[in-house]
Every structure is written in structure tokens, then in C-alpha cells.
């Protein structure tokens, strides 16, 4: 009897890598000439899963956001882990940008992913288990096709394929 193989599709992020990226941003901004003498703040609230950027102008705020995304990519994290919530005025004539950290797949999107896997008409089963999607099949090639197809599509969540057994 052939052994059944499986893998999980999740959106978990490595929080240590995320923290490292934020620390690198802080270090880089402290040494940048265009930020000398201006106020800025990078606030990571781990329990609320929020990242708050504060800068003296919209231009500085955009620069700060670009640096954060660049550092996330260098830490092998997707830029999709940040969902922009709002930009607003802050105290002291500063601007404030708030991001939600996305480390889950919403149920609507999970259902779409499962439907796409079923549309491939391969001999695999996909089912939603909590905050992940488990894909099972006897043929490893079918599972590889599922991974490559889902990876090639555009999704809201930063998908990670793990636990290949």
C-alpha cells in the first residue's frame, strides 16, 4: 500500500526574524543623513500584533515604510505580513502609520485556496484545519503541482508551505 504524503499551507511568520528586521530598520534610520535632526519612531506591539511608524512628514513616513519592507524581505519574510490600517496625524506635527501584522489565513481566502486545489483535478484532498490547510495525496508529484500552482497565484495572506511528509 502506498504511503500518503501531506503538507500544510499556513501564514505563520517567524517572529524572531520580524523583530530582527525591525531592529535593523531602527539601526539604519539612526545612521541615515536624511533623518538627522528629525523625529521618528518605530513601535512594535507584539501582543496587539501592530507595527506603528511615526515620522515628521509623509515623505519620511514613506521612506520608513520602504526601509521596513526591504528589511523584511532580507529576513525572508513577505511584504504581505504588513496590512496598512491607517495614516493619521500624531502629536508634535508628526504623521503616524499603523500596520496590522498578518499571520493567519482568513476563512474566505482559505475556502478559495481549497477550491483552487480541487479545480486542479489531482488526486489530492485539501481541508481547513484551524488556521492552516492540510493537503494530502499519495503521489508526491501531485503535491508539488499543488504547491507550484498555489504559489503562482496572488493571495492576500503571506502563504508558507511546511511540514511536507
Tens digits of residue pLDDT in 99-127 = 888 887 777 888 888 888 888 877 887 87
Query: Rounded CA gap, 132 and 58, in Å?
Result: 37
| CATH code for the structural domain at 5-12+104-162 | 3.30.70.860
Residue with the three cell numbers 517572529: 15
Residue with C-alpha cell 531592529? 23
The pLDDT of residue 33 is above 80: yes
5-12+104-162 and 15-101 in the same fold: yes
Instruction: State percent of the chain over pLDDT 90.
Output: 0
CATH superfamily to which 15-101 belongs: YajQ-like, domain 2 (3.30.70.990)
Question: Is 164 within 8 Å of 5 (Cβ atoms)?
Answer: yes
Give me the chain's average pLDDT, please.
81
Q: Give 134-143 pLDDT, tens digit per residue.
A: 888 888 788 8
Question: Residue 2: its pLDDT value, please?
Answer: 54
Highest mean pLDDT among 7-11, 33-37, 69-73, 155-159: 69-73
Domain boundaries, the chain: 5-12+104-162, 15-101
138 within 8 A of 5, measured Cβ to Cβ: yes
| pLDDT above 50 for 1 | no
Mean pLDDT of 14-37: 84
Tell me the pLDDT tens digit for each residue of 50-93: 888 888 888 888 888 888 888 888 888 877 788 878 777 777 77
Distance CA 60, CA 38 (A): 9
| pLDDT given at position 161 | 79
Amino acid at each position: 500500500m502506498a504511503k500518503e504524503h501531506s503538507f500544510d499551507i499556513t501564514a505563520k511568520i517567524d517572529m524572531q526574524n520580524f523583530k530582527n528586521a525591525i531592529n535593523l530598520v531602527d539601526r539604519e534610520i539612526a545612521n541615515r543623513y536624511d533623518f538627522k535632526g528629525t523625529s521618528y519612531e518605530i513601535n512594535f506591539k507584539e501582543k496587539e500584533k501592530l507595527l506603528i511608524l511615526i515620522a515628521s512628514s509623509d515623505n519620511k513616513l514613506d521612506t520608513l515604510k520602504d526601509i521596513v519592507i526591504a528589511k523584511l524581505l532580507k529576513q525572508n519574510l513577505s511584504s504581505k505580513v504588513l496590512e496598512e490600517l491607517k495614516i493619521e496625524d500624531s502629536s508634535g506635527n508628526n504623521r503616524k502609520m499603523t500596520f496590522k501584522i498578518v499571520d493567519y489565513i482568513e476563512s474566505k481566502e482559505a475556502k478559495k485556496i481549497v477550491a483552487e486545489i480541487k479545480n486542479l483535478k489531482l488526486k489530492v484532498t485539501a481541508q481547513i484545519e484551524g488556521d492552516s490547510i492540510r493537503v494530502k495525496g499519495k503521489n508526491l508529484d501531485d503535491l508539488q503541482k499543488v504547491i507550484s500552482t498555489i504559489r503562482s497565484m496572488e493571495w492576500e495572506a503571506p502563504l508558507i508551505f511546511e511540514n511536507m511528509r
